[in-house]
Structure 1
Amino acid sequence: MTARVMVIEDDEALSALLEYNLVKEGHKVSLVSDGEEALIAIEEERPDLIVLDWMLPHVSGIEICRQIRARAEIKDTPVIMLTARGEEEDRIRGLETGADDYLTKPFSTSELLARIRAVLRRSRPTLAGDVATFGDIILDRQAHRVRRGERDLHLGPTEFKLLDVLMQRPGRVFSREQLLDLVWGRDVYVEIRTVDVHVGRLRKAINRRGDRDPIRTVRSAGYALDETYTPAGPAVRREARA
């Protein structure tokens, strides 16, 4: 199970410990130490899960959680709250604000990882298993195979990763920059138009005459799997444009 996890914590030692263990678990991790910066980073990165400290500079974790739940585009992001406040009233307040889970410091990293796995299974089921489905498309991560209806699709490794990312969040529009980070990695320099080229290759691989194209191009924004997609219908061809 690989997810994009944002750790919002101002204790550098704890942040480094969490980052080490989350990366070891296979997750992609970003660290934020300031409440104001966190609100901006959440909008930009759209993580799959947030580990959120209660006490933060400038904006508290409770307020961050409240704002997440108030914004339509990020309101479904799972939040696990960390705090030194162990009293029942504080736990209730954290959960009522919208936290999906609550962990009191000090805690074991193994317990936090178990909580993260449990929350992801509930909120992002396509991240939890080896098989993801969208319409009549089935992606098997372990076997590295993709089928659409009754036929096998032959995808290159980059197209496979690209489809996997899109299938994890159907309907979400990924910018080209986000797809570069998620598919190619942050430390690799790739021209942004490369994304358009590989989306074009993916379309050719998954669509035949008579198939509806499930990949939606959002002009000047990016790409998404269309939530209104149905397997049957006329072919819809969309050209990728910058």
Structure 2
Amino acid sequence: MPHEEALSGGNASGAVVRVGDTVRKPWTASTPSVTAYVRALRAAGIDAPEPRGRDDAGRQVLEYVPGELALMRATMAAVELRRVGALVRAIHDASAGYTPAADGIWESAIPAPGSDLVCHNDLAPWNLVMGERWVFIDWDAAAPSTRLWDLAYAAQTFTLNDASLEAAAAAAGLAAFIDGYGADETLRDALPDAMAERAAAMHDLLRRSHAEGVEPWASMFTAGHGGHWASVSGYVRAHHAAWVVALSR
């Protein structure tokens, strides 16, 4: 019987374990759609955990990527934020060339404002492994969305997710991230409002789920995530002008 090591950190993925050089996690209705998408990204040159089928317990089997989560770093230097921004851009550009199956099933907790391309939907520090490779993991929430909605979340979580940070310092990080992404003027103009809307949507998901008893979001709301996202949502709105200046070229 292979040794199974429980992996911590996930909030919405169910039981996740490491077995040797693989990760095992629940197989869901959306797994076939997500697997096809990830395989297409890998074929286009994006480094994502390799899907390796299904084990005897019915779980999905994925490549284990060694390294440290970006979340564990107190701060990220501008050069690192530019690298992450460039990585997000590469994922979006590869996704733009992917056409999902018409009968595909997707599971995403927050409705997207459009369906321009399939997106990861959780490109955040808790899903970026930094080691010899920099790889985004946990693709289970991938679903059709828009470039702006996905970028707004990624930029906010990597640079504006600490409400105690001085706005000027956060704005500098935001500028580096978006410079790395190579965003055009249309995206830059739309990002301040989109980041505020996306952060508010995250808090609303937690608040609503708590009121309705929908897990795992209901428990997350009372475990500190609700307070965090309420604070961050207010922070992103309050410093809108600083983000506008930071994103101007």
- TM-score relative to the length of structure 1: 0.29
Q: Decide which structure has greater strand share.
A: 1
- Return the structure number with greater relative CO, CA threshold 8 A, min gap 6: 2
Which has more radius of gyration?
A: 1
Instruction: Give the helix-richer structure, 1 or 2.
Output: 2
